[in-house]
Amino acid sequence: MKVSTENLGNCQIALDIEAEDSELDKSLDAAYHRLVNKVSIPGFRKGKAPRAILAQHIGKKNLLEEALEHLIPQLYKQAIESQSLDPIAKPQIEITQTEPVVFKAILSLKPEVKLGDYHSIKLEPEPVEVGEKEVAAAVERIRAEQGAWVPVDRPVGLDDLVTMDIEANVEGKPWLNHKGVTYEVDKDSYSPALGFASHLQGAEKNKEKTFSLTIPDDHPIKEIRGKEGIFKVTVTEIKEKLLPELDDELAQGAGYDNLSAMKEKVAAALRAKAEVESGFELRRRAIDALVESSEVNYPPILEDEEIAGLMRDEAQRLGFRELTDYLMRSNKTEEELQQELRPIAKRRLTQGLVLGELAEEEKIEINSTEVDNKVGEIANGAEDKENTRQLFSLPQIKQSIKQSLLTQKTMDRLLQIVLGNVENMTKEE
């Protein structure tokens, strides 16, 4: 066997492997012995026909294919061992010639990650501020939730709640035909199309109103984007929301002691939410800075696998068992969805690789006790505790939990570093 290598970049290497005549002949002989007992050849007892006769009977090409099916994996294994290579996936193999037998194997190797000087990254969390304007807006939302819809005798206005009959066609083809539909007149609503609510303004009760509307280019239904829709609407009922007075009675109806207590708790909830969002933003900035300072190289197959995982997760999240069903509902081809998800996959993959390298660099580990404690925490919060504990005790589930905990612990370490709290963290540990 002769082997030559070519570095293809992106953690890929090509091996050109040529079989020796003796290796091919040995493989052909083994193929002959496997096949001769399966083939009936006139004039010979089964298993007794010479190799040349068998080759003539079934065709030299078929005998060679049988031989190569076993020879190529053997030579490939010997080649990667001789070159001290450790591929992370099945190779792409192409037979380039048969006389002599030469084939090319493209290997995907382990990603290469070189962290930058991450200890020099310094970040400050964004200050959390909750002003009177935000509190007032939140209080108004509570007030709106306590409001009641009451019938009115006037034309339709924005923010009304109407009952209506609607017919619509797009370029002469029927699209909508519904009676007694309840609809909130929100100018930003995409139902049935952005702009519909604004056209509905001024409609009078029990009087048909007809108008045209160009369907926006981002409408969920691909086939009608950019086309003109004709709508016929008859409003049968108009209601507006009657808001209660902003007083203690309103606060008590919403579950608070009084108006003052409601405002205080609303402000505290907004502040807590803002602090959580600030924490997420700090984590995003920290990982972005780590990625920016690092050099990451990986084989394309990892990005393709990440995209495939994203597609499966999205389909399952939306309740589709098969990816094809999800594609039909989303009006996208698999190639379109792959292209759409590629930037997300690239970002997730890169972040995962640099965090993995950081965990090794900082010697961060997760022990079995930490995993068991997490399983117990999940089980205790479940309705069926015992079945949940059994499920999350499966080896593959526990491995997933371990990886999640490792990622979390590594992110915590990164935050300590960028905030300059490494010494305090070390003492605490």
pLDDT along the chain (429 residues), means of 10: 93 95 92 88 84 88 92 95 94 92 96 95 91 94 93 96 96 94 94 94 96 91 90 97 94 94 96 94 96 96 94 85 81 87 95 96 95 91 88 91 95 94 50
Q: How many residues does the chain have?
A: 429
Cis (ω within 30 of 0) for the bond into 100? yes
CA nearest neighbour of 152 among 237, 234, 28, 54: 237
Any alpha helices (H) in 130-221, and if so which ranges? 132-145, 196-200
Whole-angstrom distance, CA of residue 302 vs CA of residue 375 = 29
CATH of domain 264-428: 1.10.3120.10
Q: Contact 200/156 with Cβ under 8 angstroms?
A: yes
Whole-angstrom distance, CA of residue 71 vs CA of residue 30 = 10
Sign of the torsion angle spanned by Cα atoms 392, 395, 401, 402: positive
Question: Which CATH architecture fits 148-242?
Answer: Roll (3.10)
Looking up tokens 């999640």, which residue turns up?
404
Q: What local confidence, expressed as pLDDT, does residue 429 receive?
A: 47
Whole-angstrom distance, CA of residue 406 vs CA of residue 141 = 40
Sign of the torsion angle spanned by Cα atoms 39, 44, 50, 53: negative
Q: Contact 183/198 with Cβ under 8 angstroms?
A: no
Token pair, residue 223, equals 């086939």
Enumerate residues 6+ apart whose C-beta is below 8 A from 67: 24, 27, 28, 30, 31
Q: What local confidence, expressed as pLDDT, does residue 424 receive?
A: 47
Half-sphere exposure of 335 (CA within 13 A, CB side): 0
H or E element at residue 413:
helix 395-418
Q: Contact 418/283 with Cβ under 8 angstroms?
A: no
CA nearest neighbour of 140 among 272, 259, 274, 277: 259
Any alpha helices (H) in 259-394, and if so which ranges? 259-292, 300-317, 323-330, 334-361, 368-380, 385-391
Q: What local confidence, expressed as pLDDT, does residue 425 receive?
A: 46
Q: Contact 212/199 with Cβ under 8 angstroms?
A: no
Whole-angstrom distance, CA of residue 299 vs CA of residue 311 = 20
Please state the domain extents for the chain.
2-110, 148-242, 264-428
Q: Contact 142/262 with Cβ under 8 angstroms?
A: yes
Residue 203 DSSP one-character state: P
With H, G, I as helix, E, B as strand and everything else as coil, classify residue 55. helix
Whole-angstrom distance, CA of residue 71 vs CA of residue 339 = 38
> How deeply is 85 buried, as exposed, middle or buried, from its count of CB atoms within 10 A (0-12, 13-18, 19+)?
middle
Whole-angstrom distance, CA of residue 4 vs CA of residue 2 = 7
Looking up tokens 């605490």, which residue turns up?
428
Chain centroid to CA 267: 34
CA nearest neighbour of 404 among 344, 359, 363, 341: 359
The CATH superfamily of 2-110 is Trigger factor ribosome-binding domain (3.30.70.1050)
Question: For the chain, first and last CA: distance in Å?
Answer: 55
Q: What angle do CA 165, 168, 170 make, to 5 degrees?
A: 175
Whole-angstrom CA distances from 391 to 369, 373, 376, 388, 395 are 17, 15, 11, 5, 9
User: What are φ and ψ of residue 9, in 5° steps?
Assistant: 80, 175
Whole-angstrom distance, CA of residue 3 vs CA of residue 1 = 7
Whole-angstrom distance, CA of residue 417 vs CA of residue 411 = 10
Q: What local confidence, expressed as pLDDT, does residue 422 receive?
A: 59
Q: Contact 88/299 with Cβ under 8 angstroms?
A: yes
